Amino acid sequence: MVDEKILTRYQEIPGYTGTIDEYVDHGGYQALVQALKHMQPAEVIDAVKRSGLRGRGGAGFPCGVKWSFIPKDSTKPKYLVVNGDESEPGTFKDRMLIEEEPHQILEGVILASYAIGCHQAFLYCRGEFVRGAEVLRRALDEAYARGYVGRNILGSGFDLDVVLHRGAGAYICGEETGLLESLEGKRGQPRPKPPFPAISGLYACPTVVNNVETLSNIPHILLRGAEWYTSIGPPKSTGPRLFSVSGHVVRPGNFELPMSVTLRQLIFEHAGGIPNGRRLKAVIPGGSSAPVLTEQHLDVTMDFDSLAAAGSMGGSGAVIVMDDTTCMVRVGEIVSRFYHHESCGQCTQCREGTAWLHKVLHRIEHGQGRKEDLDLLLDMCDNMKGKTICVLSDAAAMPIESYLKHFREEFERHVRERACPFGGD
């Protein structure tokens, strides 16, 4: 296992504060200098394709392939939009990258823009990230002042304007077309696809939307080569990944590791195990939208495909650990409340489904559940999946189905005893 830190290497340097001078002193912007001098845009796309880098926002789509969908012959402007709207419950790694490594993100933005032929890029920063937006603003000012952004970057003839845009608090704006609507000054309601953003995105122009962590990988891939990158982690889930581990663990935090790490290693070695002598009960391995796993799954490796094969997903890399004091009905109530609040309301299945999931889970947790409610929940989940414009509806249904699958007896007990056996909180 490779222990070298890549995405978090700068912040491990004593006294590092993330200014442009420090970043440059430690090798920052070297990838940009090299690429602008020696690489054609198509070569940059090719290197990223060969690296196998998959999107770190949730879907795990190959980044270089996404870039290659941008039509070369389009006469319309092309746009790069950075998804810094991190809001998948349990995830806090993009906020760290924004606050600690802003220039690494910017270097990735400039390289991606060069690759796809974009001359105006937008950094969509989650509204609640007040400090993050200040850090990005300062980094952007520094990059403009040094000629890494702006006209004729480093004498290459390549022009790029980067605009910092603050969101205003809506989970659905993390969905890429919801984000584009929001960036156009509208309600963040996802668009039907196709057309995909690569053909018709921001202002109906070809657009790439990339996550903050995804773009942070780009400078390293170009500087050290696709072959080096593919040597990290399993063949189909290459490169380092930031795992946000939280909940009932001794050392919560962000851990940068290859995706060959197992769930067991992540929880018990890196995050220090379960505190207070408690036992592990359940773990959500990829943000609250991911189906839950249990002790029997602990040896799964944390790559996209293995987690899918185990019945869950890698999602945003957020690992939420729950010990044996946790009530899974209460977890369902909290998770469904979240999706109900965040449903944009366009699609009936999602708008109504999330509301009813929450209502039924709330009544089971509070001692008013009925025997039929368990199958009612499963029936609702079935009607919510694969039927809507975006996957928020699926993301609300999948976890609830998984709680029922693994902990059905606990739901039954709530109904039978007309109370939460854990005493609620």
Q: How far is the CB of 382 from other proteins (least distance, A)?
A: 24
In whole angstroms, how far apart are CA 175 and each of 133, 213, 384, 394, 395? 20, 16, 17, 13, 12
Q: How far is the CB of 90 from other proteins (least distance, A)?
A: 5
Closest CB to other proteins among residues 115, 331: 331
Answer yes or no: are the C-beta atoms of 329 and 281 closer than 8 Å: no
Distance CA 310, CA 305 (A): 9
Q: How far is the CB of 210 from other proteins (least distance, A)?
A: 18
275: alpha, beta or left? (left if phi > 0; alpha if psi -120 to 50) = beta
Distance CA 418, CA 402 (A): 22
Answer yes or no: are the C-beta atoms of 174 and 85 closer than 8 Å: yes
Closest CB to other proteins among residues 232, 256: 256
Closest CB to other proteins among residues 202, 222: 202
What's the DSSP call for residue 250? S
CB neighbourhood size of 186 (10 A): 10
Closest CB to other proteins among residues 337, 413: 337
Q: How far is the CB of 13 from other proteins (least distance, A)?
A: 21
Closest CB to other proteins among residues 198, 335: 335
Closest CB to other proteins among residues 50, 278: 278
Binding site for other proteins (CB under 8 A): 77, 86-92, 94-95, 120, 126-131, 163, 165-171, 182-188, 203, 244-248, 252-254, 284, 288, 318, 320, 322, 326, 330-331, 334-335, 337-338, 341-342, 344, 425
Distance CA 227, CA 50 (A): 8
Q: How far is the CB of 14 from other proteins (least distance, A)?
A: 21
Answer yes or no: are the C-beta atoms of 115 and 67 closer than 8 Å: yes
Q: In terms of DSSP bridges, do strands 120-125 and 240-247 run parallel, antiparallel, or are they unpaired?
A: unpaired
Distance CA 325, CA 344 (A): 33
Q: What are the strands, taking DSSP E only, across 21-158?
A: 79-84, 120-125
Q: How far is the CB of 39 from other proteins (least distance, A)?
A: 28
Q: How far is the CB of 184 from other proteins (least distance, A)?
A: 6
Q: How far is the CB of 425 from other proteins (least distance, A)?
A: 5
Closest CB to other proteins among residues 62, 127: 127
Closest CB to other proteins among residues 184, 299: 184
DSSP 303-344: SHHHHHHTTS--TTSEEEEEETT--HHHHHHHHHHHHHHH--
